[in-house]
Amino acid sequence: MLLPPITRSFSFHSRFRRLIWSKCRNSQMGPENLSLIDKRHRASFRLCNVSGYKTDLLEIYAKDPKFHVLFIPGNPGVISFYVDFLESLYDLLGGAASVTAISHIGQTEKNFSVDFGENTQNWLTRSDRDPTPIPTSCQHGCGTESEESEQLSYEGLSHVSQPTCALTKLCLVEHRQAYLIYLATYVISANEAIYSIEVAQLTRSWNRNWEHGRLFSLQEQTDHKLNFIEHELQDVEVPLVLVGHSIGSYISLDIVTYCICLYPFLAVNTKSSTQAIIKKIAVSRTLCTGLSSLAAILALLPAWISRFLVKKSVGKSWSPPAVEALCKHVLRYHTIQNILYMAMTEFEKLSEVPDWSFMREKKSQMAFLFGVDDHWGPLHIYEEISNNVPGAVLTVEQGGYTHAFSCTEAGSLWVAQHVSGLIKNYLSK
């Protein structure tokens, strides 16, 4: 059987993100591609315990899947960067596959969200609602009943005229730890129905370092993915297809199944000045601390300022969701520390010569997509694979997209089309 059904969680961040998305379209896409994006199925985020660590998952489940796609990201391992790509891939596969993406440990901010049991947008706008329908059980599967609702002072809502507020305290018990989430459900004025909502109080994010400062190496991140497959996907009775991006490609190759490597980082590029700079920063505690502190300072700025700075610097051509993902997840002290530590161990491991004998043995289970100007997956690696692994499935992307393809809708859609074609061709054999 496939994975057990999951609780679908509603996130205000996700809803606002999609409202912004609908207004932003890449000029490279034609009407047919825009239509595909507008009609695609939406992925859900879930918080899962893997190897004893809280892990973000992004999931889209098919009703009758013929296979299961597991996506492993690059570094940073923030799956929010890949929402466009994964949703497009699901639709291009025609609902024949369930799709799961798994984040890296210590590289994302964890959020709790609550499903109100029906369409939340309607719940927020209906005027005939009884003022007591509040969640009574944990939405994360532990079955814990919520405590009796209580009247609390509604501080910070002075703009509401004599509100009567209904709040509930929902106790989530996971692994013997209780986390209290205060849910501001709605505000009703004296003579009218719903008057105002304070979204910031509706769902409280626990933005903290869940790993208590621990840093994770490339090998530990690889073991984390193997552990997820072993425990979470053990009951899946359909073929498993792995898709990896950048260092995620290297991790995927350690798992014996069909694997598609996107812009793969498989060996250190000694000709890349960018890699040389990143390596210098990664091995220096002083530089790591300085860069992490800078990210933490940027995170303290108002959200619109940090988004503006990202958009004007590294994310000039990025979609709004990609900019939001960087600001929300990457601009954190402990996140940058983990990104750089993992990078340091990547440079150490990938200084070794690739295992060509292994790749020759498994070449029928591998496919590679390289970019024209990508220092992480340069064309000389493409040529080395071609020479050392005759018959390997190799493609060079000519659309002008970058290593960070998932940060634009056009790049996400093109790569999704390429990946869906590879999967269909492989499974038809």
First-residue to last-residue Cα distance in the chain: 24
Q: Does the pLDDT at position 340 exceed 90?
A: yes
Q: Does the pLDDT at position 282 exceed 90?
A: yes
| Mean pLDDT calculated for residue range 410-417 | 95
| Mean pLDDT calculated for residue range 54-66 | 92
| Mean pLDDT calculated for residue range 335-341 | 95
- Name the β-bridge partners of 47: 56
For residue 211, count CB atoms less than 10 angstroms from its CB and return exposed for 0-12, middle for 13-18, buried for 19 or more. middle
pTM comes to 0.71
pLDDT in tens, 144-167: 443 333 333 333 333 333 333 333
Cβ-contact 179, 206 below 8 angstroms: yes
Which residue stretches of 126-233 are H helix? 199-202, 218-232
| Mean pLDDT calculated for residue range 90-110 | 90
Count H helices and E strands in the chain, helices first: 15, 11
| Mean pLDDT calculated for residue range 57-63 | 92
pLDDT of residue 37: 52
Q: How far apart, in whole angstroms, are the C-alpha atoms of residue 302 and residue 315? A: 18
Both tokens of 77, joined, read 């391992």
The long-range contacts involving 269-274, CB below 8 angstroms and separated by at least 24 positions, are 269/375, 269/376, 269/378, 269/381, 271/375, 271/378, 272/375, 272/376, 272/378, 274/375
pLDDT of residue 38: 55
pLDDT tier at 43 (50, 70, 90 boundaries)? confident
Q: Tell me which residue of 383, 389, 396 sits closest to 364, measured CA to CA.
A: 389
The string of DSSP letters for 301-334 reads S-HHHHHHHHHHTTTTT--HHHHHHIIIIISSHH
- Name the β-bridge partners of 258: 241
Q: How far apart, in whole angstroms, are the C-alpha atoms of residue 421 and residue 380? A: 25
pLDDT of residue 32: 52
| Mean pLDDT calculated for residue range 271-276 | 95
Residues 6+ apart with CB under 8 A from 233: 3, 68, 70, 100, 240
Q: How far apart, in whole angstroms, are the C-alpha atoms of residue 408 and residue 321? A: 9
| Mean pLDDT calculated for residue range 351-377 | 93
pLDDT of residue 69: 96
Q: What percent of the chain has pLDDT over 90?
A: 48
Most confident of 112-126, 139-153, 395-409: 395-409
As a whole number, the mean pLDDT across the chain is 74
pLDDT tier at 236 (50, 70, 90 boundaries)? confident
pLDDT tier at 399 (50, 70, 90 boundaries)? confident
| Mean pLDDT calculated for residue range 185-210 | 37
With vertex at residue 71, the alpha carbon angle to CA 70 and CA 74, rounded to the nearest 5 degrees, is 155
Which is higher by pLDDT, 37 or 321?
Answer: 321
